[in-house]
Structure formats: C-alpha cells, structure tokens
Structure 1
Amino acid sequence: MSFETLVSLVIFAAVTSVTPGPNNAMVLASGVHFGFRRTIPHMAGIALGYGVMLAIIGAGVGTAMSVSPLVEVAMRLASGAWMVWVAWSLARSTDAGRDAARIRPMTFLEGALFQWVNPKGWVLAISSMSLFTKSGDLVTDIAIVVAVYVVTCLPSSSIWTAFGVSLRRFLEVPWRLRAFNISMAILLLASTLPLIFEPV
C-alpha cells in the first residue's frame, strides 16, 4: 500500500468511524446509563470485533455475499430484527440509576458479535476492502486496513461515550431521559433500516 493510499484510508476510517451509526448510538446511550468505565468492554468489543469481521470479509466472505443474494437477504433480515429489538429495549429504558442496577452494559463479546448484524459495518467493511486492497499484496493490505480501523474505532467510540457521560446530569430529569432514549432508538433505526431495505 502506498503512502498516499494509507493517508486516504486513515481519513476514510476516521470519518466513517466517528459519524453517527449503530455502534456510536449504543455507546452514547451506554455512557448515559452506565458511565465511561463500564462501557470500556463494549468499546473494545466494537474495535476488535470489527477488525475480525474486516479480516474475514477481506478473505472472501464479502464476495460470497455478492454472489449469493439469499445470503445477503438472510443477513439483512437478521440485522433488521436485531436492530428493532435493540431500539425497542433502548426506548423502554426509563431511569439511568435504576437501569444500571437492573440491567448491564454490553460485554466485550456482545460488542464484538454485534458487528455481524450491523448493516453500516457490513457496507463500510466491503467498501473499505474494495477501495484499499490490491490483489498484488492482498494479505498486507488487509492487515493494514484492519489495523487502521481497530485504532480509529477506539477514540471514536470514546468520544461518543464521553459525550454520553457528559449528559448524565442533564438527563437526571426523567422526561429528558425518556426523550433521549426514544431519540436514540429512532436514530439507531434511521441509521440502519435504509441500508437493510436497499434493493438487493
């Protein structure tokens, strides 16, 4: 990979990692409900889980999906069902302190596995591998793409989590927290459902 391509990859990864999407909406909500420290395993799971998914897609899963529409449809349906369930659970959350005692934040493994039903993650992973890997040195290019995304995911997730933590005092008022949770649920659905229902 040339230096110019690497710079383009870093910019692409940074911008796509920090913009709103399912992962960032979820760590923002986790920051509000559970604080920064308890969200760290979730953030680590996102970064490493997405890295693993990138590597597997680079090895050929993305090509297999494009060849088999049935596989793509199945993935979209699974993603849609999971996103609706997550959004519904988030919208029903009421009190940050009560929720922290009654439920728990996502674990490392859950954060990692979530990447496989994240439509934005799939689109970006396939795009990244198409744009920034070449057949001449494929293994090295895949490793670089994975490393760049793992490194950029962590600060991006941290920014959104910290923003959530900063909102905790403001959201101590029940109706504000309720409005926040519903807004995050809508954002979660709005950022993913259009991707799920695109024509195959």
Structure 2
Amino acid sequence: MSLHALLTLFTLGMAAGWTPGPNNALLASSGVKFGLRRTVPHALGVGLGFPVMVFLVGLFLGAAFQASALLRDVLRYGGAAMLLWVAWKIASAGGLGSSTGPIRPFRFHEAVAFQWINPKGWVMAISLTAQFMNPAHIWLTALMVAGVFLVVGLSSAFGWAALGTGLRRFLAKGHRMRIFDITMGAVIALGVVVLLRG
C-alpha cells in the first residue's frame, strides 16, 4: 500500500470512526452513567473488536457479503432491529442512578460481539477493505487496514467515553440527563434509518 493510499485510508477512517454512530453514542452514554474507569472494557472492546472484524472481513467475508444479497439483507435488517432496540433502551433510561437504565456498562466481550451486529461497522468494513485490499498481498493489506482502524478505533472509543464522563456533572442537574438519553437514542435510530435508506 502506497503512502498516499495509507493517508487516504487513515483520513477516511478518522472521519468514519469519530462521527456519531451506535458505538460512539453507547460509549458517550456509558461515560455519563458509569464514568471513564468503568467504561474502559467497553472502549477496549470497540477499539480492538472492530479492527479484528475489519481484518477478518478483508480476508474472508468481504467477497461473500458482496456476492450474496440474502446475507447482506439478513445482516442489514437484523442489525437494524437490534440497534433500534438499543436506541429505545437508551432513550427510555431514567437518568443517573435510575433503575430503568442499564445497571452496568458493556463488558469487553459484549462490546466485541456488538461490532458484528452494527450495520455502520459492516458498511465501513466492507466498503473500505474493498477499496484498499490488494489481492496480491491480501494478508499484508488486511493487517494494514486493521492497523489503521486500531489507532482510529482506540482514539475515538476513549474520546467519546471521555466526552461522556466530562458531561456527567453537567447532566446531573434537572432534566438534562433525560434529554441526553433521548438524544443518544435518537442518534442511534437516525443512523439506522440513514443506513437502511443508503
């Protein structure tokens, strides 16, 4: 992979990794509700889980998903349904300390598994690996693409979790937490709608 292609991949990865989406909304919400220290396993699960997914997609699954409309539809609509459920759970949470909200942050393995049902993740993994994979050096380019997403993923995961943690005191007053929960749920739901229309 040329330096120009690597810089292009990194730029696209930063734009995709830092924009609001299901992972980032969940990380910000976890940072608000549980603080940064308790959100670390979730952030690591996202930051490490997505590059592993990108690597495996680049090696094995990209061509299969591009060739099979049924597989794409199952992933697309099944993942969308799961994300809408997650959006509802976040939007209907009762605020800090509420018994109606999540009782604990995502565990590492749950955050890793979540990557495999996240439609935004699949769109990114398949489209970017398809653009940057070199069939003559498939292992090397799969590792390079995954390596870029390792850097991007860890930085954005911890960045969004820290943002949520920083907002914790501000959101503890009045109805601000309720508004935040509804906003994060709406961001996820809107992302699902955009992905389904695309």
Q: Normalising by structure 1, report the TM-score.
A: 0.93
Which residue in the other structure is 2:90 paired with?
Answer: 90
Which residue in the other structure is 2:147 paired with?
Answer: 147
Contact 1:171 1:177 in 2 (8 A): yes
Distance in 1 (CA, whole Å) between partners of 2:113 and 2:159 is 22
Contact 1:33 1:100 in 2 (8 A): no
Contact 1:94 1:174 in 2 (8 A): no
Contact 2:30 2:164 in 1 (8 A): yes
Displacement of 1:174: 4.2
Distance in 2 (CA, whole Å) between partners of 1:99 and 1:61 is 40
Displacement of 1:100: 10
Runs of at least 4 residues off by over 6 Å: none
Deviates more, 1:122-131 or 1:103-112: 122-131
Distance in 1 (CA, whole Å) between partners of 2:41 and 2:93 is 21
Deviates more, 1:117-126 or 1:165-174: 165-174
Distance in 2 (CA, whole Å) between partners of 1:149 and 1:73 is 25
Change (3 A) 1:81 1:102: closer
Q: Deviations over 1:129-188 (max 9, x none)?
A: 112111121110110100110111111111111111111111112411111101110001
Q: In the alignment, is residue 159 of structure 1 matched against residue 159 of structure 2?
A: yes
Q: In the alignment, is residue 80 of structure 1 matched against residue 52 of structure 2?
A: no
Which residue in the other structure is 2:30 paired with?
Answer: 30
Contact 2:45 2:109 in 1 (8 A): yes
Change (3 A) 1:102 1:89: closer
Distance in 2 (CA, whole Å) between partners of 1:65 and 1:47 is 23
Instruction: Report SS of the residue matched to 2:168.
Output: coil
Displacement of 1:69: 1.0
Distance in 2 (CA, whole Å) between partners of 1:127 and 1:101 is 35
RMSD value over aligned CA atoms?
Answer: 1.7
Displacement of 1:116: 0.9
Distance in 2 (CA, whole Å) between partners of 1:100 and 1:170 is 21
> Aligned pairs, how many?
198
Instruction: Report SS of the residue matched to 1:93.
Output: coil
Deviates more, 1:8-17 or 1:121-130: 8-17
2:90 partner amino acid: L
Which residue in the other structure is 1:42 paired with?
Answer: 42
Structure 2 spans left out of the alignment, 5+ residues: none
Change (3 A) 1:183 1:60: same
Which residue in the other structure is 2:2 paired with?
Answer: 2
Structure 1 spans left out of the alignment, 5+ residues: none
Q: Deviations over 1:46-65 (max 9, x none)?
A: 12211121112112312111
1:103 partner amino acid: I
The residue correspondences of 1:43-58 to structure 2 (distance < 5 A) are 43-58=43-58
Which residue in the other structure is 1:19 paired with?
Answer: 19
Q: Normalising by structure 2, report the TM-score.
A: 0.94
Distance in 1 (CA, whole Å) between partners of 2:48 and 2:104 is 21
Displacement of 1:97: 2.7
2:2 partner amino acid: S
Deviates more, 1:176-185 or 1:126-135: 126-135
